[in-house]
Structure 1
């Protein structure tokens, strides 16, 4: 028997304190932004977080678990931002405009857009991720409806679908896409519907 047989393999020690879930999710988000879904591998995330792969596995169990947690986080951040931006706004029109302001900020972040669509493509090909993304979309629509505080559920669904479609078309067209004109039209159409009552 050789000297190393029967002993656990040594792993490289990193000079950092143990990472929490948030730190690892931050690292996963950075990897996703820079390399896309194909590069979202446990070793790449561990390297970015400056931890061992076993630490990532300890928090998330698998690459699938990490992706699910990242999806949850990426969906929660804009919803929390919208709720914070609109909490003190009394009028539907003001809350709607705060939402449009947030949409414009998101449209300006090309890396985040690409990351979002990378995850959406993963979800299209994986039944479990698709179901999770579907639940997140339902939750987002419900939260949007509660924040805006007006209009039927179908209007919230239509607006969110329109924003996703606008973002995809803008991402594909780049700077040539008439984002201001399209969002301006969406603004007028939505307000017509919201303020109709």
Structure 2
């Protein structure tokens, strides 16, 4: 029904989930999570946010600007909800809340995986995506170094991060948060053994002439 067909003095209702810039970027993340980056249009974001097409155009000006700001927004949001940077001091606390993070905001996680695939086709996305993952890698390395009480090389930090990322992806696709928790228990056990080994194998620097 058009606005003209409505009774005099009434307007077609518009559901406003939020018309501010942040709300529109949240809507963009949800659109990409469901339909991929190629489905990100002004109209799709407007429908998702419950606002007019013109409002989205007003805020972003171009589709490329919308994509760039959505990536930056996801970057900031991801760090805010990251389950890595918790200040954990012991292996048993590592990645606490990972499963809950996926359940709380699955669209944000799906958005990032969509970006990973799209960046293979669009090199212009790589700098922002690289910045996001470099922040993740550094957070994982720092947390592991604190927990293990020793420097952690890139290989170990990437290995652990890859395990976490795989768990996030599998929970996102298959559900089964309980499997995530079981795997995290095993990972923490391995970290406990690494921490214990590092403590017991500190080299003895005492000189023995014999």
Settle same-fold status: TM greater than 0.5.
yes
Please tell me the root mean square deviation across aligned C-alpha atoms, in Å: 3.7
Q: What is the CA-CA distance between 1:153 and the residue it aligns to?
A: 4.9
Q: TM (normalized to structure 2)? A: 0.65
Alignment coverage as a number of residue pairs: 180
Poorly superposed stretches of 4+, deviation over 6 Å = none
Q: How many angstroms apart in 2 are the aligned matches of 1:81 and 1:110? A: 9
Unaligned runs of 5+ in 2: 1-11, 200-210
Q: TM (normalized to structure 1)? A: 0.68
Higher-Rg structure is: 2
Q: How many angstroms apart in 2 are the aligned matches of 1:54 and 1:191? A: 55
Identify the match of residue 111 of structure 2 among 84, 108, 115: 115
Match of 2:32 in 1: 32
Match of 1:184 in 2: 185
Match of 1:106 in 2: 101
User: Is the contact made by 1:24 and 1:49 (CA closer than 8 Å) also made in structure 2?
Assistant: yes
The structure where helix makes up a greater share of residues is 1
1:117-145 Cα distance to aligned partner (Å, 9 max, x none): 22222222110112321121002222344
SS in 2 for 1:101: coil
Unaligned runs of 5+ in 1: 1-11
Q: What is the CA-CA distance between 1:109 and the residue it aligns to?
A: 5.6
Asked if 1:131 corresponds to 2:132, the answer is no
User: Is the contact made by 2:145 and 2:152 (CA closer than 8 Å) also made in structure 1?
Assistant: no
Q: How many angstroms apart in 2 are the aligned matches of 1:135 and 1:93? A: 28
